[in-house]
Amino acid sequence: MANSSITAPKGFKAAGLATGVKRSGNLDLGVIHCPDGAKAAGVFTTNKIVSSAVTVCRAHVKSAKVYAAIVNSGNANACTGQKGFNDAVTMCQKTAKELNVKPNQVLLASTGIIGEPLPIKKITTGIAKATDKLSPSAKAGLDFAKAIMTTDTRAKQAVTTIRVSGKEITIAGTVKGAGMIGPNMATTIAVLTTDIDISKPLLAKALKDAIGDSLNKLTVDGHQSTNDTAMILASGAAGNRPVTSQCPRYKAFAKALKGLCSDLAKQMALDAEGATRMFTVVITGAAGKKDAARAARAVADYDLVKCAIHGADPNWGRIICAVGSCGVKLNLDKLSCKIGDISVFKQGIPVKFNAKKASKIIKAKHHTITVALGVGKDTDFCYGCDLTKGYITINADYHT
Amino acid sequence: MANSSITAPKGFKAAGLATGVKRSGNLDLGVIHCPDGAKAAGVFTTNKIVSSAVTVCRAHVKSAKVYAAIVNSGNANACTGQKGFNDAVTMCQKTAKELNVKPNQVLLASTGIIGEPLPIKKITTGIAKATDKLSPSAKAGLDFAKAIMTTDTRAKQAVTTIRVSGKEITIAGTVKGAGMIGPNMATTIAVLTTDIDISKPLLAKALKDAIGDSLNKLTVDGHQSTNDTAMILASGAAGNRPVTSQCPRYKAFAKALKGLCSDLAKQMALDAEGATRMFTVVITGAAGKKDAARAARAVADYDLVKCAIHGADPNWGRIICAVGSCGVKLNLDKLSCKIGDISVFKQGIPVKFNAKKASKIIKAKHHTITVALGVGKDTDFCYGCDLTKGYITINADYHT
């Protein structure tokens, strides 16, 4: 079996195990090790209240080289005061000690319940065990992917390769998704690895751009969590001529990274809490890029649209209502809407259409809604998913 | 039985009947008649795409005197082009003709599905029948209240009396609520009647202020519809000394109107689509009134909070998360949260609390969540309701 996990790029080992933080006994601690070091970059939540893991990771990602990343699930270590901060520091110290590196060379992320103190002894015991079983195998990478899951129903992985200056470059990633995913934040937890040799500023730029057009275009319930983190580690082990400017080699890497992140974003949408299908909202004819993004998000976030899509109901009035209420410029006499390739509202007038055919389009795993605002030339998009009883079940019962 | 309907104030007759627009055969057309005329005021949706009913009503409410109001449910007459506008005009013309007044002396509102052409013949036939059966009885008022319902499970009415310059003044109202209720818009449809003698500008001011602190503080799914309308008709039949300035008599009326609207808002929250309980979010210590309102709405609108409340789960981390993500100023070292009177998060530190007791508080029909931002002195509030599987059922199946 080909390795499609985060250990696919050269220079990475991983491990995942159960520390007992999750009562279910599922995997809840993942470690990545890059023995020769890696350049790193991160994108974090814009929530004003952040987990201590985010505070610590924001500082450590500035290190010229990092050697490891550690992620725990089942506990967000957010709103946990000074003890929470101490625990985050301890996690990095313990990992650093086991791997014989410095604490600020270890990246960190946490995900799970907010406001509960972290059972730090379980975690430190787990770190010792995990660092003992680090492996470059696909199984080890998959264990890591499983260890960062919360309400996800399956591990999400993606891998891609490109050729850069005659060398094969691999990029891989895993994400944990489900609820609390909204644009304007990084994502929940995304961990990416690559073996390209690239400068740190360009790695950061490529990550930021890729997240902006993938995970940031995804909305499940419109919310930004306290813990959202996307990180990338580049080992440089592929042996390519170092990428140090925005040359064609950089562009090829940036494009591949964006494609990989889009793949992961779509996997997240389809595995969002309770979701059974996803959709892309495309806005055209906007008076500005911001208006286009705002309208796309307004539609994708609109509970009534999400419910209609769950019911495979081509209730386009709710789409138009969402666009009208979000404050963007529009021209009602030119406003138009399509579900897939079916025109349902054209230049301000309802179109008679085949409702059964439209319903069939919505029933697919993924369909596209297009709204033309009729006032300009700008365009943008957003991914969304349906709102189901499963979302309610998961979120009414998650805490206790 | 005392009359608690919109015919309780002196000078009003009403009727409600089924025209066949609703396939269920339920009442779907309501008419109010004020034979001696009334001063009127209205507050309308801020959605940029509005029903032709809103366009017409915005114009007619400017008339010095109005004599009637007509509301249909089951069809919003929104996104219906020129035909929709013509139909809205026809509804007022037909009502005016039957009652021997001018078309611009008739107020209008529509609610229901967006984008379907109005079956105007059914409506005009209904108008002729309704104007024939107008009555000042409590039953007629209740029929009107029933006729404006869409997914509401019960008619919502409220009545109150005050004494103004030795005369008894009555104020009454009915609302249709359910989904699509959000702050920054009027509400869905609210129709208020009173027999006070008051100047038109003061009536408008009292209505705007009352809606601002009641129906605009209510959020079910955060959305503004194309049709939201609140209107008030004042017959002047109580015979009080006319209210022409912001005197104590005006203030007594404004206060009573606000109280009545708050009563109606709470009835709406408890009858929101699928809702089983409601809550009030109170924000204190904000750096400004806008921040306070924004944070209160962010919590009340947050699907994860609404789900937790449905599960009677004191998952306060989601409350803090909502506050942190909405962009308001806050001081994490002073940030505090209470569920009812139980402190769960104090000055940035989780508090050990009795989860069973907190759960019991949430299980009540109505509880209060208080969040102190710790940066200023401003305060505001918002009403919300739980998010349930019932909401999904109603909204996945509403169209077809």
A chain contacts of residue B315, beta-carbon cutoff 8 Å: 113-114, 398-399
Q: Read off the DSSP letter of residue A24.
A: T
Q: Does A186 have pLDDT greater than 90?
A: no
Q: Tell whether A61 and A121 lie within a shared domain.
A: yes
Alpha helix positions (H), A248-310: 248-270, 289-301, 303-310
Q: What local confidence, expressed as pLDDT, does residue A398 receive?
A: 52
pLDDT digits 0-9 by tens, B221-241 = 556 677 888 999 999 999 999
State the pLDDT at residue A219: 65
Is residue B5 one of the residues assigned to a domain? no
Which pLDDT value is given to residue B219? 66
| B2: pLDDT strictly greater than 90 | no
Question: Does residue B30 lie within any of the structural domains?
Answer: yes
∠ CA A338-A343-A349, nearest 5°, is: 105
Angle at CA of residue A123, ends A120 and A125, nearest 5°: 110
The region of weakest confidence among A14-23, A346-355, A379-388 is A379-388
B1 pLDDT higher than 80: no
Does residue B115 have a pLDDT over 90? no
Tell me, what's the pLDDT at B221?
A: 58
Residue A62 has pLDDT above 60, yes or no: yes
Determine the pLDDT at residue B217: 73
Indicate if A160 belongs to the active site: no
Residues 66-85 of chain A with CB under 8 A from chain B are: 76, 78-81
pLDDT given for residue B222 in this prediction: 58
What number of other Cβ atoms are within 10 A of residue B24's Cβ? 8
- Residue A1 placed within a domain: no
Helices (H), A100-229: 120-132, 138-147, 200-212
Instruction: Please tell me the predicted confidence (pLDDT) of residue A119.
Output: 96
Output the pLDDT for position A178. 63
* A238 lies in the same domain as A346: no
Give the least confident one: A378-392, B124-138, B152-166: A378-392
Question: What's the pLDDT at B34?
Answer: 98
Question: Count of CB contacts below 8 A, A vs B?
Answer: 202
For A46, A48, A115, A120, the CA distances from B345, given in Å and listed in that order, are 22, 16, 9, 21
- Decide if pLDDT at A181 tops 70: no
Asked if A221's CB is within 8 angstroms of B325's CB, the reply is no
| B350–chain A Cβ distance below 8 A for any pair | yes
User: Within this chain, do residues B264 and B284 fall inside the same structural domain, yes or no?
Assistant: no
Same-domain check for residues A330 and A355: yes
pLDDT for B284: 97
Residue A4 lies in a domain: no
Between CA A213 and CA A261 the distance in angstroms is: 8
Q: Look at residue A278 and tell me whether its pLDDT is greater than 60.
A: yes
A59 and chain B: CB distance < 8 Å anywhere?
A: no
Chain B segment 200-239 residues within 8 A of A by beta carbon are: 221-226
Report pLDDT for A185.
35
What pLDDT shows up at residue B183? Answer: 37
pLDDT given for residue B233 in this prediction:
98
pLDDT at A97: 98
The number of domains in chain A is 2
Tokens of B163: 């004494």
**Interval B62-106: pLDDT, tens:** 999 999 999 999 999 988 889 999 999 999 999 999 999 999 999
Tell me if A49 and B321 make a contact (CB, 8 A cut-off). yes
What is the residue-averaged pLDDT of chain A?
90
Specify if B323 maps to a domain: yes
Q: Over the stretch B367-391, which tens digit does the pLDDT of each residue have?
A: 999 999 999 999 998 888 888 887 7
- Structural domain harbouring A126: 13-270
Whole-number mean pLDDT of chain B?
A: 90
Query: Does B47 reach chain A within 8 Å, measured CB to CB?
Result: yes
pLDDT at A122 over 90: yes
Give the mean model confidence (pLDDT) for residues B358-373. 95
User: In the predicted model, is pLDDT for residue A163 greater than 50?
Assistant: yes
CATH no. for residue B73? 3.60.70.12
A144 and A287 both lie in a single domain: no
For an interface test with A, the pick among B55, B116, B223 (most A C-beta atoms closer than 10 Å) comes out as: B223
Query: What tokens appear for A302 in the block?
Result: 């609109």
pLDDT the model gives residue A187 = 40
- How many of the other CB atoms lie within 10 Å of CB of A167? 15
Q: Tell me what pLDDT residue B199 has.
A: 97
Residue A27's pLDDT band (boundaries 50, 70, 90)?
A: very high
pLDDT tens-digit profile of A228-240?
889 999 999 999 9
A90 and A231 together in one domain: yes
Q: Which residues of A touch B385 (CB under 8 A)?
A: none
- Residues of chain B contacting A180 with CB distance shorter than 8 Å: 304, 321
Position A259 in a domain? yes
Res. B181: pLDDT tops 50: no
pLDDT, greater one: B210 or B183: B210
Specify the DSSP class assigned to residue A116.
S
B342: left (phi over 0), alpha (psi -120 to 50) or beta: beta
Domain membership of residue B1 (yes or no) is no
| A112 Cβ neighbours under 8 A, 6+ residues apart | A21, A72, A73, A74, A75, A76, A150
Tell whether B289 and B210 lie within a shared domain: no
| Of B219, B245, B270, the domain-final residue | B270
Summarize the confidence of residues A211-225 as an average pLDDT: 71
Does A324 have pLDDT greater than 90?
no
pLDDT of A282 > 60? The answer is yes
| Average pLDDT estimate for A379-397 | 81
For residue A184, pLDDT over 50 is answered with no
Domain boundary among A222, A245, A270: A270
Cα–Cα distance for residue pair A308/A221, rounded to 1 Å: 15
The yes/no answer to whether this complex scores an ipTM above 0.90 is no
Q: What is the pLDDT of residue A220?
A: 60
Does residue A128 contact residue A95 with C-beta atoms inside 8 Å?
A: no
Tell whether A322 and A219 lie within a shared domain.
no
A334 and A380 in a single domain? The answer is yes
Residues A87 and A232 in one domain: yes
- Among the partner residues A226, A311, A349, nearest to B81 by beta-carbon distance: A349
Interface test with B, best of A273, A395, A398 (most B CBs within 10 A): A395
A260 and A297 fall within a common domain? no
Q: SS in 3 state form for B115-169?
A: CCCCCHHHHHHHHHHHHHCCECCHHHHHHHHHHCCCCCCCCEEEEEEEEECCEEE
Q: Is B355 on the interface with A (CB under 8 A)?
A: yes
CB A223 within 8 A of CB B303: yes
B387 vs A contacts (CB less than 8 Å): 392
CATH code of B373's domain: 3.10.20.340
Instruction: Tell how many helices (H) and how many strands (E) occur in chain A.
Output: 11, 14
Same domain, A46 and A170: yes
Q: Residue A392 pLDDT more than 60?
A: yes
- Residue B6 in contact with residue B191, Cβ under 8 Å? yes
Local confidence band at B182 (pLDDT 50, 70, 90 cut-offs): very low
Nearest C-alpha neighbor of A392 from the set B375, B387, B268, B282? B387
Chain mean position to CA A216: 8
Last residue of a domain, one of A201, A236, A270: A270
Question: Which positions of B are catalytic?
Answer: 187
In a domain? residue A59: yes
Q: Is A330 on the interface with B (CB under 8 A)?
A: yes
pLDDT of A215 over the 80 cut: no
Q: What is the pLDDT of residue A221?
A: 58
Residue A159 φ then ψ, to 5°: -145, 145
